[in-house]
Amino acid sequence: MIMDLPEGKFFMKSMAQIEGGMLEIKKLERFEDLMYELTYAIRKRRCIYCGRRLSKETSTLDHRYPRASGGISITNNLFPSCSKCNSAKGDLVHEEYLCYRSIKSKKQQKVFLKKVRESREKIFREKGFLLPSWWISYVDLESIQYRRQKEELRGRRYHRIAEFYDIYGKLNRPVIVDCNSNLLDGYNILLYANDMNINIIPIIRLENVRLLLKN
Ligand SMILES: [Zn+2]
């Protein structure tokens, strides 16, 4: 897929720049920070829900597809919002939240949330996460280029993946790679897939992003 990029110049010191329509990444350590910077370079600082103007201090970034449903941090999935709207939205998808807000009665809101929970369960069992299917492809684990860390710490993120897999039999999010299949984000997914001999994994390939350092 093509990731949303700012139209003008973008330059993040010693980390990334845009060259000929491609985002070139020099350092990977702060991938999420880079995505946040890019998002603010693309979108206005206004809450997407209530329209309030936001300052650097009052702005948060909402995951259109929530993290809890596999919502990854790339610009296409990030929208400025005030903290009040962002926390009220919780684990709902953008459109679900708009629908939820329009419901007047508390009782009907409860019914709505119950339906959402049920549909999530179904999606987790079928696919593992809730993201547009055209963002995703399924590839051989071996085709992804990445450097294995010397000390492979299996921390909280790893265990969350394991717990989810135990219940649903699926990976809970795709990994993100650049145009040359270099890993950008999702190391723990790869670690877990390797441990469990899961050979085919879901990825999001960002065709207009290139990692300059060798993985
Ligand atoms: Zn708001």
CA distances from 89 to 50, 60, 65, 82, 113 (A): 12, 12, 11, 11, 11
Q: What is the pTM of this model?
A: 0.92
- For residue 189, give both structure tokens: 């997914």
Please give the pLDDT value at position 205.
98
Please give the pLDDT value at position 175.
98
Please give the pLDDT value at position 182.
96
Contacting residues for 173 by C-beta, under 8 A, at least 6 apart: 70, 71, 72, 128, 129, 186, 189, 202
Task: Please report, rounded to a whole number, the percentage of residues in the chain having pLDDT higher than 70.
Answer: 99
Please give the pLDDT value at position 214.
61
* Domains, the chain: 133-207 (3.90.1530.10)
Please give the pLDDT value at position 56.
87
Q: pLDDT digit string (tens) for 42-97?
A: 999 999 999 999 998 889 999 999 999 999 999 999 999 999 999 999 999 999 99
Whether residue 215 has pLDDT greater than 70? no
DSSP 3-state assignment of 153?
A: coil
What's the CA-to-centroid distance between 113 and ligand 1, angstroms? Answer: 20
DSSP 3-state assignment of 110?
A: helix
From the list 117, 109, 108, 190, the residue with the least C-alpha distance to 154 is: 190
What's the CA-to-centroid distance between 85 and ligand 1, angstroms? Answer: 4
- For residue 146, give both structure tokens: 């990445």
Please give the pLDDT value at position 75.
97
What's the CA-to-centroid distance between 53 and ligand 1, angstroms? Answer: 9
Neighbours of 143 (CB within 10 A): 10
- How far apart (Å, rounded) are the C-alpha atoms in residues 146 and 214? 9
What's the CA-to-centroid distance between 145 and ligand 1, angstroms? Answer: 40
Q: pLDDT digit string (tens) for 88-141?
A: 999 999 999 999 999 999 999 999 999 999 999 999 999 999 999 999 999 999
DSSP 3-state assignment of 82?
A: strand
Mark 158-177 as b/e (b = at least 16 C-beta within 10 Å): beebeebbeebebbbbbbbb
Beta strand 59-63 pairing with 137-140 = unpaired
What's the CA-to-centroid distance between 171 and ligand 1, angstroms? Answer: 32
Task: Please report, rounded to a whole number, the percentage of residues in the chain having pLDDT higher than 90.
Answer: 86
